[in-house]
Structure 1
Amino acid sequence: MLSSSSSTGARICYITVPSKEVADKLSQSLVESQLAACVNIIPGIESKFLWQGKIETEKELLLMVKTRDTLTDQVAQHVKKHHPYDTPEFICTDVVAGLPDYLKWVKDSTKSP
């Protein structure tokens, strides 16, 4: 049976990074500091975006960060401090359903805000 509500207390944040080295360092520091229970590193992203009036194309990796909704601000500050981009992508979505044991693990694996 899935746990489903308007707020499960879990959130997924998406962050693009320029290299595997940055992905490894940032994901490691997020998990070590208990700001994230888990970070998936997804390679092979190609991003097209408008930057300073020009369309840019970059090879990137995507971090999928599983955390508590109450830690979002702390995760954002951590990313801003440790990310090499001037304006890093940082977007989040609430988890509206999931296996109760997994959602409990996310909560138990992250620090209380």
Structure 2
Amino acid sequence: MERPLLVYTTFPDAEVALSVGEALVRLRLAACVNVLPGMRSVYAWKGAVEQADEVVALIKSRETLAEPLAAALKSRHPYETPIVLHLPVSEADPETLAWILRETAPDQAPFNG
């Protein structure tokens, strides 16, 4: 049986994260995107140590959508090099898994509007 997939990424603010998240859900590449505001990041970038306010986004999807999901995420992401970490899920509640699979089913049309 197909396994769920969590994708971790960050955005500069909640508005951008929600906009990209909605696009991914509408395309049925994700069943849900959780946006967690209020994060402060310290990171290495182009030879310097930087700090920034960011938000985390956790994307719930399925393993077979990993590549198209990453491509769609990167094409909409404002960062030059967005963080896209695929976090495999070893187990899920059967009802949760069924919901994720149903909402990301390849035979379902994208949401309109």
Q: TM-score, normalised by structure 1?
A: 0.90
Q: 1:77 aligns with which of 68, 71, 80?
A: 71
Alpha-carbon deviations, 1:53-89, whole Å to 9, x = none?
1000011000000001000101110111100101001
Q: Which residue of 1 aligns with 2:57?
A: 63
Per-residue deviation, 1:46:
1.1
In the alignment, the residues of structure 2 paired with residue 37 and residue 92 of structure 1 have an alpha-carbon distance, to the nearest angstrom, of 15
Q: TM-score, normalised by structure 2?
A: 0.90
Residue 95, structure 1, aligned to residue 89, structure 2: yes
Alpha-carbon deviations, 1:35-60, whole Å to 9, x = none?
00011001111111110110000110
Q: 1:23 aligns with which of 11, 17, 30?
A: 17
Per-residue deviation, 1:111:
3.0
1:33 counterpart letter in structure 2: L
CA RMSD between the two structures: 1.4
In the alignment, the residues of structure 1 paired with residue 8 and residue 106 of structure 2 have an alpha-carbon distance, to the nearest angstrom, of 21
In the alignment, the residues of structure 1 paired with residue 56 and residue 102 of structure 2 have an alpha-carbon distance, to the nearest angstrom, of 24
In the alignment, the residues of structure 1 paired with residue 94 and residue 101 of structure 2 have an alpha-carbon distance, to the nearest angstrom, of 11
Q: Which residue of 2 aligns with 1:33?
A: 27
Structure 1 residues not aligned, in runs of 5+: 1-6
Structure 2 residues not aligned, in runs of 5+: 108-113
Identity of aligned residues (%): 35
In the alignment, the residues of structure 2 paired with residue 72 and residue 48 of structure 1 have an alpha-carbon distance, to the nearest angstrom, of 27
* 8 Å contact kept, 2:2–2:62: no
SS at match of 2:80: coil
Length, aligned pairs only = 107
Per-residue deviation, 1:23:
0.9
Q: Which residue of 2 aligns with 1:105?
A: 99
Runs of 4+ in 1 over 2 A off after TM superposition: none
